[in-house]
Chains A and B, each alone.
Chain A
């Protein structure tokens, strides 16, 4: 195990090099990632034109939420990890990895961390520019930002997203093509995760239900925690649920991996 841990920095560095091999592709991706904030600014600006609040949000509050969501995305959202894992299984690229004395989950976690670090760097300029544009038009609610609440929630969200991604992509042991499954869950994450709108804008009974699902802890919870929108009690309860879901999906991924390996046929190279 200690040998495996010693190998992780090398895997991380490898992942970083892989990510930065196609810099323009990466830069374009990060530039486009900032556009939704501008779209939200225009749309919500129209919603708030004749009213000061919608639900518990002011215009500045909701735009801060969407701005923070960009940071949550940059830190937590897997980019191509799901399709890479699927390819490794389907195309037999798993064979050399299986020979290494390194648990596959740890190997992928190091690559995920490398991908997020590279993306965070690349997204810094376009996200800051788009934040600058929005903040010129209005004062964002930045004074309420809570790093103490936000950072643990961000780490939990990264762990949850990584473990859920691992579970989905490991289905490639049984399915020829997992892209439809991935996009279906992606749609659920967008809606029930608070990516499209803050979940506390939902009618209270619906909000109570989605708070129990894992998706809420991928985007809404870390964003709300960073924005300082959660009480101490709600933050602690949310953190327990978030890390609980992450642990559940990690255990599930472990069992899927074990079952999948029994089906896997290593052929050729």
Chain B
């Protein structure tokens, strides 16, 4: 409860800071929107030539891509801005100011910043999602929608785990900005239909780093109804990944030598 109150306080402070630069907000909405349009354009070009990919038709693929976009935008709004600051905090020694506060450092770092722009893009993703679901002739119940949202939030856990693990490398590598590039690159995997992958690729990105489940499981639950096996696997692997990443962060923290003289 105390952490929730702290999170809300951090959110309020971060929102005030964000709203000081309103023009910046609109520019970043345009930037994020452009990247989303790229994904939709890609689908448009592919389905200009084919009817389906790995059993996914055009509107189903849009549900997959918009679900992925929704997870990314929520993550980018609430958790990513803070986490991506960790390499700089470690390098400059400003992590000291976080460590002296009486709250878990992983929590303080990941919730310290907020970006409002991605929330607007999340809204656009939802609008596209509704249109695609309508195009498929689906009428999900409130329960199914709530379950979909719960799975979207489980996807956030996987994003958190991957980025937390990557940025924690900054305890070993002096300049670790390239890990952010790694995060963006890795999450290209989440946009692929799970049925498209096979062999070692499917095994690695389902069990070791469950990126193939992040958007696939929520999207498939909306389109084809609940799938107990993949869903249970998704929830379990997401939880395990989050635990591992936090442990990895704490392990790295032991190497931190502070900047004080």
Contacts and interface: CB of A to CB of B under 8 A. Distances in A.
Contacts of A38: 201
Interface stretch (A181-189, A232-240, A251-259): A181-189
B255 interface: no
Contacts of A32: 178, 181-182, 185-186
Contacts of A22: 173-175
Interface string B224-254: 0000000000000000000000000000000
Contact of A29 (B178, B189, B196): B178
Contacts of A196: 38, 41-42
Interface stretch (A5-13, A39-47, A92-100): A39-47
Nearest to B174: A22
Interface residues of A, number: 37
A29 B38 CA distance: 23
A202 interface: yes
Nearest to B52: A50
A187 to B, nearest CB: 4
A203 interface: yes
Interface residues of B, number: 40
A54 B50 contact: yes
Contact of A25 (B45, B173, B201): B173
B38 A201 contact: no
B188 A187 contact: no
A20 to B, nearest CB: 12
Contacts of B181: 29, 32-33
A228 to B, nearest CB: 22
B108 interface: no
Interface string B167-211: 001001111111101100110110011011110010000000000
Contacts of B107: none
B174 A33 contact: no
A180 B186 CA distance: 22
Interface of A: 21-22, 24-26, 28-29, 31-33, 35-36, 38-39, 42-43, 45-47, 49, 51, 54-55, 177, 180-181, 183-184, 187-188, 190-191, 196-197, 201-203
8 contacts: A24-B176, A32-B178, A32-B182, A42-B196, A43-B53, A180-B28, A180-B30, A191-B41
